[in-house]
């Protein structure tokens, strides 16, 4: 997948001592996405707005607020995270992702 006519914010978003890093991409229609990479580890994130997470590569499990069992991901998958909630990622191999913010 490729994005056209976007603005990329130079400053990186760095979390968990650099184990999760992303770049913000802004679109002409006002929407925002982040493109990022996660090292092996466990990470919990809080959401303000709903998010759609696309895992582009990697192996991990995700604890979501609306699921009893963790979602297992191997290679590619997409999942939604409700607004004003949190989710936990258990990354077992390096993972590449794209996060879309739903307003």
For residue 53, pLDDT over 90 is answered with: yes
- Pick from 65, 70, 69: which is nearest to 92 by CA? 70
- Pick from 40, 76, 74, 32: which is nearest to 55 by CA? 76
Residue 1 confidence (pLDDT): 76
Residue whose token pair is 């994130």: 45
Q: Rounded distance, CA 13 to CA 36, Å?
A: 9
Dihedral of CA 87/49/14/20: which sign? positive
**pLDDT level of residue 103 (50, 70, 90 thresholds):** confident
**What is the share, in percent, of the chain residues with pLDDT greater than 90?**
95
Q: Rounded distance, CA 22 to CA 63, Å?
A: 21
Please list, in sequence order, all residues whose beta carbon lies within 8 angstroms of the beta carbon of residue 78, skipping any fewer than 6 positions away. Answer: 52, 53, 54, 55
């Amino acid at each position: 997948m490729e994005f056209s006519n976007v603005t990329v914010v130079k400053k990186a978003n760095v979390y968990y001592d650099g184990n999760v890093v992303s770049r913000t991409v802004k679109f002409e229609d006002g929407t925002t996405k982040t493109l990022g990479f996660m090292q092996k580890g466990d990470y919990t994130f809080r959401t303000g707005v709903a998010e759609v997470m696309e895992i582009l590569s990697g192996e991990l499990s995700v604890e979501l607020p609306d699921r009893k069992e963790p979602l297992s991901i191997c290679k590619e998958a997409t999942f939604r995270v409700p607004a004003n909630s949190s989710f936990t990622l258990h990354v077992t191999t390096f993972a590449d992702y794209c996060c879309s913010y739903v307003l």
